[in-house]
Amino acid sequence: MLTAIKRELLLRKDELNKEQIETIYFGGGTPSLLTIDELKMLIEIVYENYEVVEDAEITLEANPDDLSAKKIKELAKLPINRLSIGIQSFFEDDLKFMNRAHTAEESKKCLAEATKYFDNITIDLIYGVPNMSNKKWLANLKLAFDFNIPHISSYALTVEEKTVLHKLIEKGKVPPIDENLALEHYNILVEETEKRGYINYEISNFGKLAYFSRHNTSYWLGYNYLGIGPSAHSFNGFERSWNVSNNTKYINALLADELPSEKEQLSEKNRFNEYIMTGLRTIWGVSFQKIEKEFGAMYLEKLKKSAERHIKAGLLEIELRSFSGKVLVTTKKGKFLADGIASDLFMV
């Protein structure tokens, strides 16, 4: 697999047209299972074959059970300068319910050690878990604050079909997901993070100044990105591509110097709809100026008309920004409903 990943990095080094790399992200699976030497090798290949900015953000995704004190200390010696840790919850019953491999104690030990060596840390927390009281959710947040974590990504529990959780709910062994409970938890999350100086810069992301995820922000702002590895997606502004998800097919193709990917040319409507979807989820909103410049006056007028009822309902508002002019943003009331509102604004 590592040989194939290395080969893909080399085969695709000209795709970004010598654009500078600002972020490198080891994610999608459990990259923390790689040895220090393997991680070092991959980072070196990127630096040798791509233009990388001096202060690049380099993130490693990991679960608490993968991050021993020794591993954290070794990671700190690499160019990796940001950790994304899948805590999910600091309570044992929640972790068992979500079928997580780590324990609550491992989460706390991991963060106690990680904060000694890394300043830039983000953790994932899940809310809307059945039977999770508001008091318990507050306790989860307090533990994150006590560790002085500068960035929190938090998501409502969702149920995918054909999963164990879906079957348990169908059989009545677990209560169904309560959207009202999820909304209560989300409102608590927004209120408590705001009190402590976090900025809710994207619906599910809360960061202190200078700790926003540069990597994820690049997705939301429509920057080009290159995805390496099985199932990885790439985007160049007009075209999206994705690698085959089957590991064997991925490896065999690259050993034969073939790229195991498919491509899709995005239509103007696709690009407009994606910008609406991502823009409404962020503090940067949807720029009228950008819509008119990139898509034309017809798209802008359609957007304004579609937004009217949501503005009247207090879910959207138009703000005047010094650099970007008028932008359409969600209000506090509309933020939790952003995805549904966005779909009403799509060009179909």
CA atoms within 13 A on the CB side of 291: 26
pLDDT of residue 94: 93
Q: Between 70 and 32, whose confidence is greater?
A: 70
Rounded to an integer, the average pLDDT of 118-146 is: 96
- Backbone φ and ψ for 225, nearest 5 degrees, come out as -150, 155
Rounded to an integer, the average pLDDT of 231-236 is: 96
What is this structure's pTM?
0.94
| Segment 26-58, tens digit of pLDDT | 998 789 889 999 999 999 999 999 999 999 999
Element (H, E) at 273: helix 268-280
Q: Tell me the C-alpha to C-alpha distance, in Å, between residue 162 and each of 156, 168, 169, 170.
A: 19, 10, 11, 11
pLDDT of residue 167: 84
pLDDT of residue 323: 85
pLDDT at 162 over 80: no
Q: Tell me the C-alpha to C-alpha distance, in Å, between residue 204 and each of 21, 35, 62.
A: 25, 31, 19
* Cα of 88 vs its chain's centroid, Å: 14
Rounded to an integer, the average pLDDT of 249-272 is: 97
Q: Identify the structural domains of the chain with CATH numbers, from first to last.
A: 20-219 (3.30.750.200), 268-345 (1.10.10.10)
Residue 127 near residue 186 (C-beta atoms within 8 A): yes
Which runs of E-coded beta strand occur in the chain?
21-26, 52-62, 82-88, 120-127, 151-156, 199-202, 205-207, 233-235, 239-243, 261-265, 286-287, 316-321, 325-330
Q: What value does the mean pLDDT of the chain take?
A: 95
